[in-house]
Amino acid sequence: MRTAGHRMSKMQQWLPPAEMPMKNICSRRNFVRTGALVAAAFAASKKVIAAASERVPADEGSGIHLGLASYTLRNFSRAQMIGFLKQLNVSALNAKDVKDHLPMDSQQEAAALADYTAAGIKLHAAGTIYFAKDEDADIRSKFEYCKRAGIGVIVAGDPTPETLPRIEKFVKEYDLRIAIHNHGPEDKLWHSPLDVLKAVKGLDPRIGCCIDVGHAARAGTDVVQAIHEVGARVFNLHIKDLTNFQNKESQVAVGEGIMPVKKIFEALNAIKYKGFVDLEYEIHPDDPMAGVIESIAYMRGVLAGME
């Protein structure tokens, strides 16, 4: 009989190869929960449930591609995160300079990029990156960081409207897109993607939005309408779910709340969006994988049902 000291925590059961055998990563309990969620959401056939649970690639038959924001796994190392991504069959990452996910230091960044390449993981965006200084040297360093990584979209957290003309100069020089991330009612500048849209009209078309649907909804924005209004300037989308749009603490796995996920995907298709929808699961940072699996399975089921 195992003593209490030998019992594994829920998170230990998810650790990748260096820490635990892969067979322990996906527990039967979590797959049952995932299957039940998908079934309840769609009243789907066993075939659809199996497709969601058996790691069907997220972008089959759709212009929408599912990815993961590395902030979701902010308490875990790059090696652990790579193990989790393999289990999810997700190869698209929106990387952030947190832990050792994508360090700003060029040598450390090169080591991270080598690990991702070896694992078959493609970095499509970086962020959130903050532009606190209206200075060429500071802005250039961040564009160089993304250029080295071969990243085409910089998710920007807090550039002021006054900084945008300077940033525009680097957008033109580096041919990289800037996607300003809205952070909801607490954000001093960018409550909603509609605030971003007002500020970037007239600027280079490579300056646009990373729509965070959770924060946008909390700011009172109709996220589906916002997608249509922002249109071609939607460069990235962060998805999360809430049970109450007035309560930041009500976040749940995607599909368990009131976020209109199918309508969001339909709106993205309507604007001919060909980018990534990145899961940003901000709760349970020490033990996120059950919610991450449920969220990815739910979204795959929605996309399958739209084909």
Question: Residue 13's pLDDT is what?
Answer: 45
Beta strands (DSSP E) in 165-298 are: 177-181, 207-212, 234-239, 241-242, 251-252, 276-279
pLDDT of residue 43: 37
How far apart, in whole angstroms, are the C-alpha atoms of residue 203 and residue 209?
13
Confidence of residue 256 (pLDDT cuts 50, 70, 90): very high
Task: Let me know: does 203 contact 160? Beta carbons within 8 Å.
Answer: no
**How far apart (Å, rounded) are the C-alpha atoms in residues 284 and 140?**
35
Map residue 77 onto helix, strand or coil.
coil
User: What is the average per-residue pLDDT within 153-165?
Assistant: 95
How far does CA 98 lie from the centroid of its chain?
A: 14
State the pairing for strand pair 234-239/241-242: unpaired
Contact 277, 66 (CB under 8 A): yes
User: Domains of the chain: which residue ranges?
Assistant: 4-306
Per-residue pLDDT tens digits for 83-120:
999 999 999 999 999 999 999 999 999 999 999 999 99
pLDDT at 211 > cutoff 50:
yes
Query: What is the reported pLDDT for 133?
Result: 92
Task: Give the global pTM.
Answer: 0.82
> Would you state the CATH architecture of domain 4-306?
Alpha-Beta Barrel (3.20)
CB 35 within 8 A of CB 49: yes
Calculate mean pLDDT across residues 31-35. Answer: 43
Predicted local confidence at residue 44, as pLDDT = 34
Nearest Cα residue to 299 out of 239, 250, 252, 244: 239
Q: Name beta bridge partners: 25.
A: none
Cβ contact 191:223 at 8 Å: no
> What is the arithmetic mean of pLDDT over 284-298?
97
